[in-house]
Amino acid sequence: MAEFTMELNDEQKEVRDWLHGFAADVIRPAAAEWDEREETPWPVIQEAAKLGIYSLDFYAQQFFDPSGLGIPMTMEELFWGDAGIALSIVGTGLAAVGVLANGTEEQIGTWVPQMYGDANDVKVAAFCSSEPDAGSDVAAMRTRAVYDEAKDEWVLNGTKTWATNGGIANVHVVVAVVDPELGSKGHASFIVPPDTPGLSQGQKFKKHGIRASHTAEVVLEDVRVPGHCLLGGKDKLDERLARARERAKSGGERVKNAAMATFEASRPAVGAMAVGTARAAYEEALEYARTRSQFGRPIIDNQGVAFQLADMRTQIDAARLLVWRASWMATTGKKFESAEGSMSKLYASETAKKVTAQAIQILGGNGFTREYPVERMHRDAAIYTIFEGTSEIQRLVIARTLAGMPIR
């Protein structure tokens, strides 16, 4: 087991500096334009692909970093550049992870490369789970998948919402209900190949922040996919459903806790995104406070401003510590005894909202304009307390864990 450390090794520092250079030289100069356009920044994604940043290989290398710090380090640097563009670059990873976690070797080899394309013809993928009436309450999911045994096809019907890259993706990964009586354990994931009839884009959301990331509804109307598009295969699904039915009869808390452990392990990555945005806003405010003069001296000489910056830096460092601890725990297999994954996501996301608001205050009227990036950063930061589980859900998970209560 790797020892927990806050010191990056030489290889990690090299990757961090490389990512920071890309964020500074490519992402940041494009951020305001694509935020205004509210469109997917294809040229930036293509540049990331040329450099090897937009690829499964790169993210796999970071994921398998034995220290656990590869992914949070990557997320922090990219989202330091710009949250909307960064989410466009990493969003495909949600679908790729869905296939890697549940698919067979053949499915992984077939579909994951199609999610990314190549540097000359980049593609994106979408992971479709949330629904209009099933966000935090995944057991309320209504999208159904029915098996047509005669044709060895699955028929999908329903509407997904808040899907990153939804409708524009080359490959969609769709979570659907196959056994309603089992609640969330009666779900399965399906690949919807390119140009499959019946899948269409619904409403594209005009968002408060992360505008460069495409978010839309995905409508499924009698979408037929071959049997081999069920991730993991039907035999594995049948075995899993049978086990779930048996566990449900004897009390299913063990199943619920195992599912919660999966969410706990993924939440620090979102926390790292929030840390990146918060750090970017803090640095903008610090530089402004050093160079902006009022009453004959830099405003950082005023205690009211200096104390705000001190608090901002302290909160950012504390958030990073929580994120890195949880990431290390997930990688080394240490059990989340106190919902440390949710703790990291909760604190980092709330810190991002607070720090970006303080940055606007320090910049004054300038911070309220689009001429300065902190306004955009503040809008972007709002998403961190919402997706991958709202702050209220994080507090619920933490509280119930501390109380020794089951998490539903």
Of the candidates 126, 144, 238, the residue with the CA atom closest to the CA atom of residue 192:
126
Phi first, then psi: what are they for 12, rounded to 5°?
-65, -40
Residue type, 201: Q
176 close to 145: Cβ distance less than 8 angstroms? yes
Reading the block at residue 276, the tokens are: 């990146």
Question: Which burial class, exposed, middle or buried, applies to 352 when counting CB atoms under 10 A from its CB (0-12, 13-18, 19+)?
Answer: buried
Instruction: Select from 35, 83, 22, 87 the least CA-distant residue to 281.
Output: 83
Return the closest-CA partner of residue 86 out of 277, 347, 264: 277
Distance CA 94, CA 86 (A): 13
How far, in Å, CA of 205 to CA of 166, rounded? 11
Is 371 among the catalytic positions?
no
**φ, ψ (nearest 5 deg) of residue 330:** -65, -45
Catalytic residue among 221, 375, 388, 392: 388
Give the SS3 label for residue 145: strand
CB contact at 8 A, 284 and 372: yes
Q: Which tokens is 398 given?
A: 């933490």
Q: Which residues are catalytic?
A: 388
